[in-house]
Amino acid sequence: MGRNFGGKGPSPSRRDMLKLAAAASALAGGGTAQAQETPPGKFAPRREALENLTATEADTLEAFCARLIPTDANGPGAREARAAHYIDHALGGALASSRESYRSGLMRLDHQARLSKGASFAALAPDAQDVVLADVEKTDPGFFSLVQQHTIQGTFCDPYYGGNADYVGWNMISYPGVRLSVSQADQAMAAHPAPERKSAYDSPMFGRGGAALADRTPAPADHSQMPKGMGNHDH
């Protein structure tokens, strides 16, 4: 079991806490999610061509995301879901206003790792990374929260947006996928619905043209008009 970065003693793992958060979000959106373990397996995360981050920034962010929702005995985590790729891609569109926050925040994180542990953040062992992140959560809470929210988005989003690779996030929370119709059996909730593993935008009802436009459009600059975790945070 993991621990909260800033806490002391045993507590629910970060993975389990974020699974519950994602499950609650899925339920709020009309899906049916049930907490259960993902069978362990071998997943080889692929590294896509970078779109907005530098190679050093991407390495640091990849390691950061991987500690927020870590791969463990229950299955893959944010690294395999390609949450960092989701963020890199979105920084050129919907999250463009956060680009400077990521540039400066990742630089500060890596500097803190080198200062306190003698190596880049990405090169540290997981336990050492957790120690550094515990400090960052206290000293730079805005940036920590920003990455945490975007990591959740990238792990559990519709795969159209570049995250949730191989439906890792949906499998993690047993989210059955988009349902355009609900049968009587589904309504009875007597059995788990068969998972539908495809993007919502694969359906003619949801055109990819509109999704592509939203994907390229920066989030509003007025923080009161954007969802939690979207856009820039002041530091």
Per-run averaged pLDDT (10 residues), the chain, 235 residues: 45 52 46 36 63 96 97 92 96 96 98 97 97 97 97 94 91 82 71 77 68 55 44 44
* Cβ count near 190 (within 10 Å): 8
* Cβ count near 30 (within 10 Å): 9
Residue 125 has what pLDDT? 97
Cα of 50 vs its chain's centroid, Å? 17
Per DSSP, the three-state class of 50 is coil
Domain ranges of the chain: 14-33+43-180+189-221
Residue 176 has what pLDDT? 82
Contact call for residues 90 and 130 (beta carbons, < 8 A): no
Residue 56 has what pLDDT? 96
Report the predicted TM-score, pTM, of the whole model to 2 decimal places. 0.71
For 84, the token pair is 């960092």
Contact call for residues 218 and 97 (beta carbons, < 8 A): yes
Residue 175 has what pLDDT? 84
**Residue 75 backbone dihedrals phi, psi, to 5 degrees:** 145, -170
Q: Taking the C-alpha atoms of 118, 120, 126 and 127 in order, what is their torsion angle to the nearest 10 degrees? A: 30
Residue 203 has what pLDDT? 75
Distance CA(78)–CA(152), nearest Å, equals 8
**Residue 134 backbone dihedrals phi, psi, to 5 degrees:** -60, -40
Contact call for residues 231 and 220 (beta carbons, < 8 A): yes
Residue 127 has what pLDDT? 96
